[in-house]
Structures are given as C-alpha cells and as structure tokens.
C-alpha cells in the first residue's frame, strides 16, 4: 500500500497542439484545477513536453499556475507513444502528484491510459465534472457518462495515486490569473532511443489543418453516416455557404473520406456552443453527443425513430436527411 | 500461419437500460446481452486477416458464465475457438485489473502474434485496455490503421497518428485496435450456428494462470463506482410531424427563430 | 417448462434480424413498388444459408430446428414479408418434402442446389377449379411405357417464374387404369413446361406469383416424389409444415406494425401530449401486444411439437389461423393509429396491411383451418 500522504499537488498536462500552441482544453482545465489546488492548499503544476518548450511557458503563466515543469527536446515535437509515457512516468515517480488532469485529446487519452497502468492507479476518462469529496482530503469525485451516454456514473479512486482524469473540451471555463513567483523547472530529456519498437518507413504526409473555428460558430450543420455518400455530404457545405454556417460531423464521415478530420465534433474533436445545431443523419453516439451538449438548440433529422440523437435533441424530425437537405437548399437558393 | 486473438466483451444492449436507483446498479434481469458493437469489427478484422494470411482466430472474453454466448456468436461468425476468462476473483475488475488478468492469460498462451481490440465498450466507454495491455505485454499498439500487410514476422501499415499519416513497420506480436468504421461486418451464416453451440469453450480461471497477489477485481480495482444517475439533457424532445414539405417549413421557421438568414455573399 | 428462448434461438433471431435490417431494410419498399423479387437479394440470402434453413449440413443447409425456422421467417417478414414468403415456400413446401419423401438419388440431385439457393423451389397444387377443394385438381398424368405424360395448369404459384424446381400435384392414371394423386419434381426447362403471366397482387408484391401450363410434358418415373399414390399425403403434410412458415410470416408483419405503432404514438403530439397517453390509443397497443404474444407462443409450441415428432396438424392450423387473423387486425389498427400518415405510401404501414391479408387466404384459407381444427377436436384430439 503506497503512502498516500506523500502525494501532493494538482498537475495538468498542458498538451501542445501541432507544435504550435497550447491545447485550449488544457487551459480550460487549469481554471478548474486552480480551484481544487486552492481548496487543498497545494500547488497547481503545468507539465510541458515539447520542442522549444519555452515558447509556451508565457501562455501557460497566464492561467493561474504555481509551477511549470518542462522537458525540452526535438524528439518531443509531437506526441510519441513510448517517449512521452516514460518521461512523464519518471516525473510522477519523482514528484508524486496527487491529481493529474489531461485534456481528452487522442494523444492525452493514450498517454493517460499508459501512465495509469505504469502507476497501477485509476483513470477516469471524458469526465463531465470533478469535485473534491469534502472531508476526505485530496479525494476527488468524478462524473462520467456510461451506458451509451444515458447514465452518468460517479467514480472515485480512493487507494492509489495519482488520481488521473481526462476532460472533454468545453467542460470548464478558461480563467486568466497571473500568480507571482511562478517556479519554472526544467527536467532533462532521458530516453534510450533503442527502445523504440515502431519504425517509421517512408515520408509521412501531413493531414489537413483546421481553417475555420467550429467552436465559435453560432450555427453549425452536422452530418453523419446517414447521409450515405460524399455527394450528399457536399450538400452540407452548400447549405452552410448559403446560411453562413460551419460544417462539422461525426467520426464516420472522416473515415468515409467525406470530411476532413478537423471538422469532427465530439470527444476527440471540437465541442460546439452554437445557438442552433442541425444534425443530419447522425445516430447520436455519446462520442458525438458530448460535443454538442452546449449547443442551445438541436434539431435532429434521422430515419430511425429510435435514433439516440433524438433523446438529446429539441426538435426531432423522422425522415430522410437528404430529402430534407434538398428542400432546405431549394428554399435558400430561391429566396 | 498467424495466431490471432480478438478481445470481445458482452455488454447489455443499450436501448432500454434500467437502473436500480437504490443501489445504482444496472438491472440485468431480462436484459438482452450482445457483443460490444466495436468488438464485432474486431472479429471481422481477425477473420479477414485469417482468410488472407492463414491462421487461427480465437475469441477471448472475460466475464460471467453467460458471456459464453458472446464467444459462440464469434464462432458463428467464423472464429475457430473461444476462451472464457471467468472467476469470482475477476468480478468487478476495472480496466487496470482487467489488463493485469489479460497479461497473465497472454503470457500463459505464449505464442500469440496478433491481438485485436475494439475502441471501447458501450457500457463503460473507457477505451483504456488496448493501451494498458500494450504497456503490460510490452508490445506495440497500432491504432487508426488504413492499409496493412503481414510478412513473416513483420507487420507494415499506414496509420493516422497525431498530426500525420505514417507508414510504419513493426515486429510481431502486436495489438491492433480497430474502429467500427474500418470494415463492414459479415452476417452470420446460419449454418455455423449449430456448430457454434457444439464447440467446447475453454475456461480459464484464477487457478489456471499464474496470478500475482495484485489480482483481485473486487478489492484491488483502483477505481470504484459509487453512484449511477440518469444523465439529464434538458431538451424539448419535440417531434416534428407532417409531410416532408411541412417538416421542411417547420425547420426553416426554427432556423429563422434562431437568427439564421440567407447569407447573400456566398463564402468561398 | 421453460418459456425462455435458448441462447441458440436468441442468436438465430439476432443474426437474421441484423441481416434483414441491413440488407432487406433498404429494399423492401422498392421491391413492393416495382413488384419484383430481386435476384441480388437471393444471392445475399444464400450467404446466410436462408435457402437451406432446415436442410442437413451435408447438403449445405443450416440444419436448424423448427423454432429457429419460425424465428427466421418471422424476422425476415418483419422487414420484408415478400422475401419471407419466398423463403418460406422454398424451404417448407419445396425443399422439405424432397428431404422427407425423396429417394437418395433425388436428395442428392436437388437438395444441394436448393440449399445454396442456386435453384429456387416452388410447390403447385391450386388450380382454377381446385382451391379449398384440394381433391378437385384436374392436372392429369397418364402412364405411357416407362414414363408419364402430364397435361394441365396451375394458378397462384408462389415463386413461379423465379423457381427452377417445382413440386407439382396431379392426378394420375396408370396403364392398368389405377388412379390417384402424385407429386412430381419438375424442372422449369422441361419440354412443355410453360410459365404463365405474373399476377398483379394486392400485397406481397415483392414475391413472384404466376400460373403454370403443362403441355404433354414427358415425366420420367424417377421424378415421382415418394410413391405413386402418396401425392395427397405428401401435399397435405407439406402444407402442415408450410403453415408454420405462414404463421411466422404473419407474426413478423404484425410485429413490424406493432413496433411502428408504439414509436409513432409516443412521438405524435396532439392536444399537447403524445397520443400514446390517450386511452383510445394505449388500449389498442395493449391489445396488439397481447395478440402478438399469444400468436407467438402458439407458433413456437407448434414448432416444438414438430421437432418432438408429435402430430401437429391441429396446432399448425391454429397457429396459421390465429397469426394471420391478428396480423390483419393489427395492421389495420396500425393504420388507424397512424391516421392519414398510415394511409400514405411514405410509411410502410399500408404495405403491412396489404401484405397481411393474404395470410388468411393461402396455405389453406382460415375457413379450412377451422375445419381442420374442428375435425381434430371433435375426433377427440382436444
């Protein structure tokens, strides 16, 4: 049994996105983590693994951290499935944080799962809320969706540390706060390159880069597999053009090659906060639904009266998404 | 000849779940159990690999005795064999405990080449086991795969990883995690159902594996569920009825009410 | 006594349901509209062994028991009753009689092709002047040397036109002037075998129904199914089994109409609440649920009796009569619940209604079913 009292401080993994900027969700998490650290009277620590890491430190300083621990190396330019877990596991072993929070991006989800195994501790992913269990020291209560998003379960991790969670974008608010005397600690990069067991052959190709911001759009039109074809999916862009909307979608259109990856809405994509969201041919898997829950109003169009999207929609239309899309297009073209 | 193992889980069919509000537990009585939807795609991949490269497909699940039904379904789809990992000591395992048991099972099996998993289960939605099993067995986990090929002890593929699309090469054994959009699953040939119920399912219990003291699903799972609540989305859930035309008119009205107007200068 | 389906039966249901929803779902209304059976569907049905549901595995069949058979037909018909009929007729009154009464040579010749769906089967007894009065058929086979010469015609032949292998009921007359009923296995390519016009039907439009004409067909004796004088017995036994299929078909249609009614009435808002909350509608739903459960229990018991080897003539008549009766009733009420929408072709409800009606007519009309049931109970088979 580890001595739980040895574990202190709230850590946030401030993931760097595309070797370019700090992940926005990580900044949101810092806001909530600050509250928890204050309640515990402990430090809030941001962890950066990056190339040219100092670039990001000034941003992170704006969000209430007491301490920043970073490792700087060219090998850390992008997430690596062996290097990152090992380096961070070493940091955990050295500093023993009590709580470690991650954004629920693909990379951080993978990283946190690997770390939880190495630390033999618990991980709660995609949580909806987090709070301290009063009078139980540093124990946190986390809520996460389960059973296809119909239920929410409350989970604790009482006997092991750190308590690890991943948090979906949009769950918390960013809060700017500049602390005095922020401690900056550089840890050294130490990884034996011979351990790498995945060999990259040939030149990688870059995937599409985001151009417009889905998360700020007031009107979003979403598409799912129910649209049936690339041609039908293209109609979404036409409608978006006519109505000044943004197009987004579920994971499936990406796999079908209908939509670039950065337009994904949901757990591993963007969360939207639009006034209106129009969902065409979307079944309503929880992975998508968590990304639209902050949309003020949702209209869903699906042929299946039992589609779970209807359970989370304001207006439910049973019908063929294509037919309705055609009708709407016709209206806006004629008007 | 590849030894392919596909990890599956039996889950309650998610369209009509009920919770005992006093205990917070799922009411399992009268519940229809099915193979976790993601895992069916895993079985399909396993069968496809077998058909192309030769080999043997074994479906593995961990759960109570009734989970045998999931294995029989996998066999009906085309798997050669089923293994049920079952023991009261494994009950209530969370992802870490599950991984620790799977580690022992695979070390006992020994000559595995490919382990296939789905992305996540529909009941607990954690998606952690593939990563943790990769840590536990010390073998690579390959996700987001596009094209792949096996050559002797090598595996090559194109995968999406982070910001880029990579061509990679790894030595077997590997874990492949497969999305539900990677393939179209086959329908069960009814002629295999009879056989699927005649085949004997291998059972692995606590005593059959070299269990370290850290395995105890009920008492040593680091995470504990303390409460289950209905997730409330405050939505109107209003059905729009009428002919197609009427439906479109009503949608247009709602759009208008929410400030959507025709954008005259079409964006480029 | 256990009313739970076994895991095996549950898997049969799940497998066929998934197939039906995925493959037949998008095609059912098209097949109805275009009034044709799709050969593309036939190929896909082969992949799940739907053409050989109860045939032994050594002929390429699925070797399912009768409860599984009923479940399979029910699930196919829940999505597409036309396909349900095509499959049901092929399995129960074409493939099955050959398995039960055929010689080893006949089984080896016909069953592998029937099991794989390479050849579709049909059964023809009804004639213009012989419907309920099955003994009144006029098709006549006259013995000449080592063969028979067949003349006559058949009507309302399900799978007519798409089938290659036909079981044909006929009267015969031997050289020494013996008379009786015979069933022949005929191939559509035989000289003198003519397929008549396609019938334009009220429902089940995605299944093929034609008349058949026989002009001096040369029928070798090896094409006799069973013994020469077994014709009537074979015909009636085939129909006993066929009725399980028709009951299952009717049940599947009723189930579909019922599910739609539940969904629609929960979503349709009038007077500010879902119409399911009005007693006028909720009682209809309660009646539907009760009737469907009764029909299903009766059907599965019939299938159970058949598997046990017991006589099931009375029960199969009851199943067919009751399931078809409630299917017509439930599909009609489903239209009522859906109101104007139910009457339009946008929704499949009106198709269910059209498809259900014939279940009260074919494979022996419900009046004949009651005749069989009453004959049995008055004989003491209570």
Contacting residues for C200 by C-beta, under 8 A, at least 6 apart: C35
Residues C250 and C287 in one domain: yes
C344 to chain A, any CB pair closer than 8 A? The answer is no
Give CA–CA dist A166/A142, Å, rounded: 10
Give CA separation, B138 vs A184, B81, B103, B176, in Å: 33, 25, 10, 14
User: What is the model's pLDDT at position A211?
Assistant: 40
Residues C248 and C365 in one domain: yes
Residues C163 and C100 in one domain: no
CB contact under 8 A, B72 and C7: yes
In a domain, C2, yes or no: no
- Is residue A267's pLDDT more than 80? no
Q: Which residue of A has its CA nearest to B12?
A: A147
Tokens 């004949």: give the residue.
C368
Token duo for residue C86: 């095509």
Taking residues B248-254, report their average pLDDT: 91
Q: How far is CA B80 from the centre of its chain?
A: 19
CB contact under 8 A, C267 and A306: no
Residues C364 and C258 in one domain: yes
User: What is the model's pLDDT at position B3?
Assistant: 98
CA atoms within 13 A on the CB side of B266: 9
Pairs of CB atoms within 8 A across A/B: 241
Question: Which chains have 3+ CB pairs within 8 A of A?
Answer: B, C
CB contact under 8 A, C264 and A306: no
Say if residues B4 and B58 touch (Cβ distance below 8 Å): yes
Taking residues B243-263, report their average pLDDT: 84
Angle at CA of residue A197, ends A196 and A202, nearest 5°: 95
Q: Where do the H-state alpha helices sit in chain A? A: 24-40, 54-60, 83-95, 106-119, 230-243, 251-255, 286-292, 321-334
Q: Which of C75, C363, C367, C376 is catalytic?
A: C363
Residue numbers in A near C263 (CB within 8 A): 305-306
Residue ranges making up the domain that contains C31: 7-120
Residues C373 and C236 in one domain: yes
Which pLDDT tens digit goes with each residue over B101-145? 999 999 999 999 999 999 888 787 788 999 999 999 999 999 989
Residue numbers in C near B47 (CB within 8 A): none
Pairs of CB atoms within 8 A across B/C: 71
Of A144, A158, A313, the CB nearest to B235: A313
Residues C81 and C193 in one domain: no
Q: Which residue of C has its CA nearest to B189?
A: C48
CA distance C169 to chain B (A): 31
**Portion of chain A with pLDDT greater than 90, in percent:** 59
Q: Average pLDDT of chain A?
A: 89
CA distance C51 to chain A (A): 29
Residues C214 and C338 in one domain: no
CB contact under 8 A, B237 and A310: yes
Q: CATH number for the domain including C98?
A: 1.10.540.10
Residues C17 and C81 in one domain: yes
Neighbours of C55 (CB within 10 A): 26
CA distance C309 to chain A (A): 42
- Is residue B93's pLDDT more than 60? yes
A245 closest CA partner among A328, A309, A335: A328
C103 to chain B, any CB pair closer than 8 A? The answer is no
Q: CB under 8 Å, gap of 24 or more: what pairs does C185-193 form?
A: C185/C98, C185/C102, C185/C106, C185/C110, C185/C223, C185/C225, C186/C150, C186/C217, C186/C219, C186/C223, C188/C163, C188/C164, C189/C164, C190/C217, C190/C218, C190/C219, C191/C217, C191/C218, C192/C150, C192/C216, C192/C217, C192/C218, C193/C217
Q: With cut-offs at 50, 70 and 90, classify the pLDDT of residue A2.
A: low
The total domain count for chain C is 3
A147 to chain B, any CB pair closer than 8 A? The answer is yes
Q: CB under 8 Å, gap of 24 or more: what pairs does B181-185 form?
A: B181/A225, B181/A251, B181/A252, B181/A255, B181/A256, B182/A255, B182/B41, B182/B45, B182/B145, B183/B41, B183/B44, B183/B45, B183/B48, B184/B44, B185/B40, B185/B41, B185/B43, B185/B44, B185/B77
Q: What is the number of residues in chain A? A: 335
A32 closest CA partner among A108, A153, A129: A129
Strand residue runs (E) in C59-164: 121-124, 140-144, 147-158
B199 to chain C, any CB pair closer than 8 A? The answer is no
User: What is the model's pLDDT at position A268?
Assistant: 64
Q: CATH number for the domain including C317?
A: 1.20.140.10
Q: Average pLDDT of chain B?
A: 88
Neighbours of B13 (CB within 10 A): 14
Residue numbers in B near C12 (CB within 8 A): 190, 193
CB contact under 8 A, A276 and B258: yes
Taking residues B214-227, report their average pLDDT: 86
CB contact under 8 A, B163 and A78: yes
Neighbours of B234 (CB within 10 A): 8
Question: Which chains have 3+ CB pairs within 8 A of B?
Answer: A, C
Give CA–CA dist B101/B217, Å, rounded: 9
CA distance A179 to chain B (A): 33
Which part of chain A has CATH 3.40.50.1220? 219-334
CB contact under 8 A, B125 and A107: no
ipTM confidence score: 0.90
Residue numbers in C near B32 (CB within 8 A): 10
Q: What is the number of residues in chain B? A: 268
Which part of chain A has CATH 3.40.50.620? 4-195
**Portion of chain B with pLDDT greater than 70, in percent:** 89
CB contact under 8 A, B73 and C11: yes
Residue numbers in B near C269 (CB within 8 A): 238-239, 241
A316 to chain C, any CB pair closer than 8 A? The answer is yes
In a domain, C263, yes or no: yes
pTM for this entry: 0.83
Q: With cut-offs at 50, 70 and 90, classify the pLDDT of residue B54.
A: very high
CB contact under 8 A, C11 and B241: no
Q: Helix or strand or coil: residue C104?
A: helix
User: What is the model's pLDDT at position A212?
Assistant: 46
- Is residue B267's pLDDT more than 50? no
Mutate which: A18, A89, A110, vs B, most B CBs within 10 A: A110
Residues C358 and C278 in one domain: yes
Of B134, B139, B236, the CB nearest to A314: B236
Q: Which of C212, C231, C250 is the last residue of a domain?
A: C231
Q: Helix or strand or coil: residue A16?
A: strand
Residue numbers in B near A148 (CB within 8 A): 14, 17, 122-123, 125
Taking residues A310-334, report their average pLDDT: 90
A269 to chain B, any CB pair closer than 8 A? The answer is no
Beta pairing partners, B151: B154
Query: Would you put residue C58 in left (φ > 0), alpha (ψ -120 to 50) or beta?
Result: alpha
The CATH class given to the A219-334 domain equals alpha beta
In a domain, C51, yes or no: yes
Q: Which residue of A has its CA nearest to C266?
A: A305
Give CA–CA dist C133/C138, Å, rounded: 12
Beta pairing partners, B4: B57, B114
CB contact under 8 A, B163 and A275: no
Q: Which residue of C has its CA nearest to A320?
A: C346
Mutate which: B15, B73, B187, vs C, most C CBs within 10 A: B187
A219 to chain B, any CB pair closer than 8 A? The answer is yes
Give the CATH fold of the B2-220 domain: Rossmann fold (3.40.50)
Q: Which residue of A has its CA nearest to C346?
A: A319
Say if residues A190 and A87 touch (Cβ distance below 8 Å): yes
A291 closest CA partner among A44, A123, A126: A126
- Is residue A132's pLDDT more than 80? yes
Residue numbers in C near B239 (CB within 8 A): 267-269
Q: With cut-offs at 50, 70 and 90, classify the pLDDT of residue B179.
A: confident
Q: Which of C203, C231, C259 is the last residue of a domain?
A: C231
Give CA–CA dist B67/B46, Å, rounded: 20
Residues C249 and C362 in one domain: yes
Q: With cut-offs at 50, 70 and 90, classify the pLDDT of residue A209.
A: very low
Tokens 């009609």: give the residue.
C332
Residue numbers in B near C50 (CB within 8 A): 190
CB contact under 8 A, B165 and A204: yes
User: What is the model's pLDDT at position B268?
Assistant: 33
User: What is the model's pLDDT at position B187?
Assistant: 96
Residues C322 and C348 in one domain: yes
Known catalytic residue: C363? yes
**Portion of chain A with pLDDT greater than 70, in percent:** 95
CA distance C263 to chain A (A): 7
Q: Which of C196, C231, C266 is the last residue of a domain?
A: C231
In a domain, C74, yes or no: yes
Residue numbers in A near B178 (CB within 8 A): none
CA distance C341 to chain B (A): 8
In a domain, C287, yes or no: yes
Q: Parallel, antiparallel, or unpaired: how do β-strands C140-144 and C147-158 relate?
A: antiparallel
Residue numbers in B near A249 (CB within 8 A): none
Q: With cut-offs at 50, 70 and 90, classify the pLDDT of residue A206.
A: low
In a domain, C315, yes or no: yes
Token duo for residue A32: 């909530």
Say if residues C258 and C329 touch (Cβ distance below 8 Å): no
Angle at CA of residue C104, ends C101 and C105, nearest 5°: 110
Residue numbers in C near B69 (CB within 8 A): 7, 10-11
User: What is the model's pLDDT at position B22?
Assistant: 59
User: What is the model's pLDDT at position A75?
Assistant: 93
Q: Which residue of C has its CA nearest to B66?
A: C7
CA distance A252 to chain B (A): 6
> Is the domain defined by A4-195 classed in CATH 3.40.50.620?
yes
One pLDDT digit (tens) per residue for chain C, 382 residues: 788 899 999 999 999 999 999 899 889 999 999 999 988 999 999 999 999 999 999 999 999 999 999 999 999 999 999 999 999 999 999 999 999 999 999 999 999 999 999 999 999 999 999 999 999 999 999 999 999 999 999 999 999 999 999 999 999 999 999 999 999 999 999 999 999 999 999 999 999 999 999 999 999 999 999 999 999 999 999 999 999 999 999 999 999 999 999 988 987 888 988 899 999 999 999 999 999 999 999 999 999 999 999 999 999 999 999 999 999 999 999 999 999 989 998 789 999 999 999 999 999 999 999 999 999 999 998 8
Residues C198 and C147 in one domain: yes
Chain B residues 81-110 with CB within 8 Å of chain C: none
Which pLDDT tens digit goes with each residue over A150-183? 678 899 999 999 999 999 766 788 899 999 899 9
Angle at CA of residue B234, ends B230 and B235, nearest 5°: 120
Least confident stretch, A99-113, B249-263, C207-221, C331-345: B249-263
Q: Where do the H-state alpha helices sit in B58-209? A: 68-77, 95-109, 129-137, 191-196
């Amino acid at each position: 049994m580890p001595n739980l009292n040895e574990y202190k401080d709230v850590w946030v993994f401030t993931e760097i996105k595309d070797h370019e900027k700090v992940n926005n969700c990580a900044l949101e998490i810092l806001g909530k983590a600050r509250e928890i650290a204050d309640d515990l009277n402990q430090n809030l620590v941001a962890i950066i693994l990056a190339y040219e890491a100092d670039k990001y430190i000034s941003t992170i300083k704006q969000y209430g951290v007491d301490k920043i621990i970073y490792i700087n190396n060219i090998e850390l330019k992008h997430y690596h499935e062996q290097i990152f877990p090992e380096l961070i596991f070493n940091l955990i072993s050295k500093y023993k944080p009590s709580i470690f929070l991650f954004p629920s991006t693909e990379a951080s989800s993978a990283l946190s799962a690997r770390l939880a195994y190495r630390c033999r501790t618990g991980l709660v992913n995609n949580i909806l809320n987090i709070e301290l269990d009063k009078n139980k020291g540093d124990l946190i209560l986390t809520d996460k969706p389960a059973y296809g998003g119909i239920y929410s379960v409350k989970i604790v991790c009482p006997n092991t540390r750190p308590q690890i969670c991943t948090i979906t974008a949009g769950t918390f608010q960013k809060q700017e706060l500049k602390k005095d005397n922020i401690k900056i600690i550089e840890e050294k990069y130490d990884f034996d390159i011979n351990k790498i067991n995945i060999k990259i052959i040939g030149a990688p190709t870059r995937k599409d880069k985001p151009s417009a911001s889905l998360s700020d759009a007031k009107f979003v039109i979403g598409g799912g597999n129910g649209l049936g074809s690339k041609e039908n999916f293209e109609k979404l862009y036409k409608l978006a053009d006519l109505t000044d909307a943004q197009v987004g979608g579920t994971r499936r259109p990406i796999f079908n090659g209908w939509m670039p990856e950065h337009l994904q809405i949901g757990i591993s994509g963007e969360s939207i906060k639009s006034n209106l969201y129009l969902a065409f041919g979307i079944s309503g898997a929880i992975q998508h639904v968590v990304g639209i829950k902050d949309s003020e109003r949702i209209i869903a169009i699906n042929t299946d009266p039992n589609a779970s999207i209807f359970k989370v929609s304001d207006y439910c239309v049973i019908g063929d998404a294509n037919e309705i899309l055609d009708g709407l297009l016709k209206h806006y073209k004629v008007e | 000849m590849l030894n392919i193992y596909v990890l599956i889980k039996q889950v309650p069919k998610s369209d009509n779940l009920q919770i005992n509000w006093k205990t917070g537990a799922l009411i399992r009585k009268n519940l229809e159990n099915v193979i976790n939807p993601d895992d069916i795609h895993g079985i399909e991949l396993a069968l496809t690999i077998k058909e192309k490269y030769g080999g043997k497909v074994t479906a593995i699940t961990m759960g109570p005795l009734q989970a045998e039904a999931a294995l029989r379904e996998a066999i009906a789809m085309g798997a050669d064999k089923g293994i049920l990992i079952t023991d009261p000591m494994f009950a209530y395992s969370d992802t870490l405990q599950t991984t620790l048991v799977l580690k022992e099972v695979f070390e006992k099996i020994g000559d595995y080449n490919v382990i296939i998993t789905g992305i996540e289960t529909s009941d607990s939605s954690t998606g952690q086991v593939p990563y943790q099993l990769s840590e536990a067995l010390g073998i690579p986990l390959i996700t987001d795969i596009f094209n792949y090929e096996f050559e002797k002890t090598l595996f090559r593929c194109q995968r999406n990883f982070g910001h880029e699309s990579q061509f990679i090469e790894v030595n077997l054994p590997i874990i492949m995690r497969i999305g539900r959009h990677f393939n179209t699953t086959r329908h069960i040939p009814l002629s295999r159902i009879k056989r699927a119920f005649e085949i004997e399912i291998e059972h692995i219990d606590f005593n059959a594996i070299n269990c370290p003291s850290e395995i105890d699903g009920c008492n040593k799972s680091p995470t504990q569920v303390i409460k289950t609540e209905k997730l409330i989305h405050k939505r109107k859930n209003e059905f729009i009825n009428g002919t197609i035309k009427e439906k479109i008119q009503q949608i247009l009205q709602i759009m208008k009410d929410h400030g959507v107007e025709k954008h005259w200068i079409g964006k480029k | 006594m256990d009313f739970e389906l076994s895991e095996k039966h549950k898997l049969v249901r799940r497998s066929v349901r998934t197939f039906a929803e995925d493959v037949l779902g998008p095609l059912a209304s098209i097949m109805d509209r275009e009034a044709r059976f799709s050969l593309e569907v036939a190929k896909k049905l082969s992949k799940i062994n739907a053409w050989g549901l109860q045939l032994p595995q050594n002929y390429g069949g699925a070797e399912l028991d009768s409860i599984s058979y009923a479940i399979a037909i029910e699930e196919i018909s829940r999505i597409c009753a036309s396909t349900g009929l095509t499959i049901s007729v092929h399995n129960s009154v074409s493939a099955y009689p050959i398995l039960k009464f055929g010689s080893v040579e006949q089984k080896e010749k016909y069953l592998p092709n029937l099991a794989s769906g390479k050849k579709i089967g049909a059964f023809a007894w009804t004639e213009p002047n012989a419907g309920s009065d099955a003994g009144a058929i006029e098709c006549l086979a006259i013995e000449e040397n080592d063969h028979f010469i067949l003349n006559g015609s058949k009507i309302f032949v399900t799978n007519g036109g798409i089938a290659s292998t036909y079981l044909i009921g006929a009267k015969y007359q031997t050289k020494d002037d013996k008379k009786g009923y015979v069933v022949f296995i005929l191939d559509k390519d035989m000289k003198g075998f003519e397929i008549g016009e396609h019938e334009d039907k009220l429902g089940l439009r995605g299944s093929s129904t034609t008349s058949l004409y026989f002009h001096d067909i040369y029928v070798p004796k090896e094409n006799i199914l069973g013994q020469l004088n077994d014709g009537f017995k074979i015909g009636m036994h085939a129909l006993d089994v066929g009725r399980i299929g028709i009951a299952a078909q009717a049940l599947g249609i009723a189930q579909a109409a019922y599910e739609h009614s539940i969904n629609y009435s929960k979503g349709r808002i009038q007077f500010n609440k879902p119409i399911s909350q009005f007693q006028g509608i909720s009682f209809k739903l309660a009646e539907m649920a009760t009737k469907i459960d009764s029909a299903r229990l009766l059907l599965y018991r019939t299938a159970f009796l058949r598997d046990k080897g017991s006589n099931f003539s009375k029960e199969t008549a009851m199943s067919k009569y009751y399931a078809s009766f409630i299917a017509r009733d439930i599909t009609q009420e489903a239209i009522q619940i859906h109101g104007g929408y139910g009457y339009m072709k946008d929704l499949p409800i009106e198709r269910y209604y059209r498809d259900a009606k014939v279940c009260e007519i074919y494979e022996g009309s419900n009046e004949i079913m009651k005749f069989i049931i009453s004959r049995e109970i008055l004989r003491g088979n209570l």
